[in-house]
A = this chain, B = another copy of it.
Amino acid sequence: MATQSVHADIAPLAQVLKALGEPNRLRIVNLLMEGVQCNCELGSALDMAPNLISHHLRVLREIGLVQVERDALDARWLYYSLNVEMLTQLSETFGHFFDASRIRERLPACGPQATHLPRAELVVGAT
């Protein structure tokens, strides 16, 4: 496996952050931290219509954070839960991307103070 870089691609990370950046969805994730729950439970806990719960669960499922299982005795019931591996990987990605120790000291390449300062070391990669 390649060394994990922060620069990987930030588009999928942005997609996950966007999905989580919705209050009701974040509440759903928080509730799923308590364990498996069905649609009706989430709906009553959040005072939301089941179709709306279903909509948000769909978004969370599309980013792989939520998984669903069907009851063995009564297949009408769907049980939603968090994908542990996905959550672990997500937490790790966040920890790396938003690590404050990543911040480097750097003077702006533009502006009046940039002219008389050496910044050859700032040049990265291609031209």
Contacts and interface: CB of A to CB of B under 8 A. Distances in A.
A72 B124 CA distance: 6
Interface residues of A, number: 68
Interface in A98-119: 98-100, 102-113
A14 interface: yes
A11 B20 CA distance: 11
Chain copies in the assembled complex: 2
Contact of A26 (B13, B26, B79, B125): B13
Given A17-B21, A108-B41, A110-B38, A125 B94 contact: no
Given A19-B21, A79-B122, 18 more contacts: A6-B30, A13-B26, A17-B18, A20-B21, A33-B102, A34-B106, A35-B107, A36-B107, A41-B109, A41-B110, A69-B122, A70-B126, A72-B124, A73-B113, A74-B111, A84-B100, A87-B100, A94-B95
